[in-house]
Structure 1
Amino acid sequence: MKFLLFLGSVRDSTPPRPARLGLRVALACMAAFKHYYPDHEIELIDALDFPVEPVFKPHFAYSKDRAPAQLNELAQKIADSDGYLMVSPEYNHTMSPALANLLNHFGSSLFSYKPSAIVSYSAGQWGGMRAAVTMRTFLAELGCLPVSAMIHVPKAQQVFDEQGEMMPGEEQADWYEYFARTIHQLEWWAQATHDHREEVDPLSKTATFKQNPAQRNAP
């Protein structure tokens, strides 16, 4: 199966130092995922690599074949994937605006009927857990319901180095054991939804919301 890991931070300046804690966490999560599931594909989607237009226009709002190539490519990757890991810092007790902005460029029909996993981090003691709570409702509305287990990494600068390797004094086995609960839940649900999508196309039963608000069938 195929998985995408979204890194939702575009901070790349100092101070503070180190600038990109999120990349350390993302690389560590990818390494742990490959440790448990070497036969599955996982790809990093870094919000820093997607300088989307300042005037918001979602991918599905473009005329056919008129969307920027970068958005088209990512839309296809999202559609082809079976599950998602969402890595976010905590800004003002909520998820990264960069992550929300990037995800909001794509319709929920690309994400829906697949699972997601929440990973949060911080330079302080809480590990971004307040942001993680707000991400539950966001991802549910996006259609990729998050699994129950979450990953929180407090004081990430003391846990992982720039390559996502354990800092001296940290035990890889301990962190991988902690990551495992979330990773196993994500893989289980991804396999279940993948198999059922092979039997029943969920979008044949519920139309996608792309053109007209009435498609939501709301009162």
Structure 2
Amino acid sequence: MKALLFLGSRRQSSPPQPSRLGERVCAFLNAHIGSRFDATLIDPLDYPPTEVFKPAFAYAASNKPAHLAKLERLIIEADAYVMVSPEYNHSMSPALSDLLNHFPSSAFAFKPSLIATYSSGQWGGTRAALNMRSYLSELGCLPVSAMLHFPHADKVFQADGEPAADQDAARWAKYAGRGVEQLHWWAEAAGWQRELVNPFVASPVFKRTPVERDAP
């Protein structure tokens, strides 16, 4: 099965250091996700924001930007998602929400997601994770119950994503494994069910106008 690992940061500036702490968290998670999924890292730096926000579904098929069309295909083909985010004002990264908002919920729907947050401080992004649960549910990729939080991630992980020498690597591996195993279980179950029943027959894809979802 395929999983997309979304890195929720574009920031390369400093201070603080390190400038892209999320890269360390993603490297750590990628090693564990790879035991269950064919994982692909999605980095927002590869999808720079436009001056005026325009979601992928607002383009005609003939002039949709190639990078958005490629990512939309990856999202549709994936079986699960891992959303990695720092915390901004008690909410998820604007870089992550900006990227995800380019795509319709039908691209993510009827598949599971795993929330992972981090910080240099003591909370590990837990407050961001709370609103990510409702956000991802609205996208249709319901988050599994296990969430991963990494406080003091700059001290926990080395640049290559390996736990630092003073960390209990086995314990961190077990911690990550719980979330990955839940994600795999739900991804496998959802995949079987999608094979049996096309979910978009009962819940048609939202195309262009909100009127399509109006109450009677």
The verdict on a shared fold, with TM-score over 0.5 as the criterion, is: yes
Moved more, 137-146 or 57-66: 57-66
Structure 1 alignment gaps of length 5 or more: none
How far, CA to CA, are the matches of 1:29 and 1:216 in structure 2? 37
Does residue 208 of structure 1 match 2:205? yes
Match in the other structure for 1:48: 45
Q: Which of 116, 121, 125 is matched with 2:118 structurally?
A: 121
Q: Deviations over 1:65-101 (max 9, x none)?
A: 2110000000000000000000000011100011000
Structure 2 residue identity aligned to 1:10: R
Q: Tell whether the 8 Å contact from 1:208 to 1:215 is kept in structure 2 after alignment.
A: no
Match in the other structure for 1:104: 101
1:15-30 matched pairs, under 5 angstroms: 15-30=15-30
Q: Tell whether the 8 Å contact from 1:159 to 1:170 is kept in structure 2 after alignment.
A: yes
How far, CA to CA, are the matches of 1:202 and 1:108 in structure 2? 13
* % identical aligned pairs: 53
Match in the other structure for 2:2: 2
Q: Tell whether the 8 Å contact from 1:207 to 1:215 is kept in structure 2 after alignment.
A: no
How far, CA to CA, are the matches of 1:202 and 1:217 in structure 2? 20
Q: Deviations over 1:149-198 (max 9, x none)?
A: 00000000001111111111112211010111111110000000011111
Where does structure 1 differ by over 2 angstroms across 4 or more consecutive aligned residues?
Answer: none
User: TM-score, length-normalised on structure 1?
Assistant: 0.96
Aligned-pair CA distance for 1:199: 1.1
Match in the other structure for 2:56: 59
**How many residues are paired up?**
216
Aligned-pair CA distance for 1:216: 1.4
**What is the DSSP-based 3-state SS (H/G/I as helix, E as strand, rest coil) of the residue aligned with 1:65?**
helix
How far, CA to CA, are the matches of 1:212 and 1:155 in structure 2? 44
Q: Deviations over 1:8-43 (max 9, x none)?
A: 111111111111110100110011122x42xx3001
Match in the other structure for 1:135: 132
RMSD over aligned Cα, in angstroms?
1.0
Structure 2 alignment gaps of length 5 or more: none
Q: Which of 182, 204, 213 is matched with 2:179 structurally?
A: 182
**What is the DSSP-based 3-state SS (H/G/I as helix, E as strand, rest coil) of the residue aligned with 2:6?**
strand
Structure 2 residue identity aligned to 1:23: E
User: TM-score, length-normalised on structure 2?
Assistant: 0.97
Structure 2 residue identity aligned to 1:12: Q
Match in the other structure for 1:81: 78
Structure 1 residue identity aligned to 2:16: P
